[in-house]
Amino acid sequence: MFTQSLDARASTIASLDLAAYLERIEWGDDIRLDLDTLSGLLAAHVSHIPFENLDILARRPVHLDLDRLQDKLVRAGRGGYCFEHATLFAAVLMKLGFVPVRHSAHVTIPAPLGESPRTHMFLTVKIPEGTFVVDPGFCAFAPRVPIQLVHRSLANGTEGESHWMERKGHLWLLRARLNGTSAEAWVSTLRQESSENFEIGNYFASTHSGSPFVNRIILRALTADGRVTLMNRELTISHGNVVHTTQLTDRRELRALLIEHFGFDLPAVERLRVPSIPEWQ
């Protein structure tokens, strides 16, 4: 099992601009090493830093070093996908004095375990109240609250959202229920992973021709009472249990969507090529 040394931890977080990050997520509360702070930080992170794979579709490399992660997710106001979110959030937690452990998982939406590569990154954090799963970089089914690592212990987000962990032998499963739809989100052994393994997973997920991130638009932003998700041209906006679905007509609407719901403008998306959308190739 990989164990990160104290020197390596210190090196990892040395370049983190904590003040800039806390400003990005609009954090103004006190910080304690407890569940209230962990829950508040996670909720603020996922509410202010969206999930998006636009750099991958634009054939730009995805970097996991902390300096370039901060340039993108903090200073430029952009979002990212699981490796970017979890790497940044782990560094923040470490800087604050938490001890996050990094894990990988097989995403089982929509492919079953045997057909899914191990290309998702999430964290566990042990605090006085117990050990909690923290997953800031999942897409449509993202939990906005920490989930206690206890078999079938329910964690509720907003109205219509709940998540729980389920144990099956040596495996742990994240299950989710959103607006009446239930899903098995991912499966993990909870083995602690090294930075090198995440670099490999990130490279595969962001470059392989069969990766969904290389072929589809996948966006998610959380709101106070729901979420905004885009899968290719299908836009879904939920407020509590009320769900509205529509289709984007063109890439100008995609750019407008980013400005209105995701907090940034990216003019280049008006020329974005998306392999799984014939009209946008």
Question: Per the domain annotation, does 275 fall within a domain?
Answer: yes
Q: How many domains does the structure of the chain reveal?
A: 1
Q: What is the CATH number of the domain that holds 127?
A: 3.30.2140.20
Q: 69 with 16: CB under 8 angstroms? A: no
| Burial of 6 per CB tally in 10 Å (0-12, 13-18, 19+) | exposed
Cite the beta strand spans of 85-232 per DSSP E.
Answer: 100-107, 120-127, 130-134, 147-148, 155-156, 161-168, 171-178, 181-188, 218-223, 226-231
Question: Per the domain annotation, does 193 fall within a domain?
Answer: yes
Residue the block writes with tokens 């991912």 = 186
Question: Per the domain annotation, does 1 fall within a domain?
Answer: no
Q: Edge-to-edge strands of the sheet including 234-239?
A: 51-52, 218-223, 226-231, 234-239, 242-247
Residue the block writes with tokens 């979420």 = 227
For 209, phi and psi rounded to 5 degrees? -65, -25
pLDDT on residue 112: 67
Give 6's pLDDT tier (boundaries 50, 70, 90).
very low
Q: Which domain holds residue 57?
A: 6-280
Residue type, 10: A
Residue the block writes with tokens 């990892």 = 12
Residues near 84 by beta carbon (within 8 Å), at least 6 away in sequence = 62, 64, 69, 72, 73, 137
Give 5's pLDDT tier (boundaries 50, 70, 90).
very low
Rounded CA separation 15/112 (Å): 39
Question: Per the domain annotation, does 181 fall within a domain?
Answer: yes
**pLDDT higher than 90, residue 178:** no
- Residue pLDDT, tens place only, 71-122: 999 999 999 999 999 999 999 999 999 999 999 999 998 776 666 789 999 9
Question: Per the domain annotation, does 86 fall within a domain?
Answer: yes
Q: Which helix (H) or strand (E) holds 39?
A: helix 35-48
Q: Which of 104-113, 141-150, 155-164 has the lowest mean pLDDT?
A: 104-113
Q: 34 with 10: CB under 8 angstroms? A: no
| Averaged pLDDT score across all residues of the chain | 93
Question: Per the domain annotation, does 138 fall within a domain?
Answer: yes
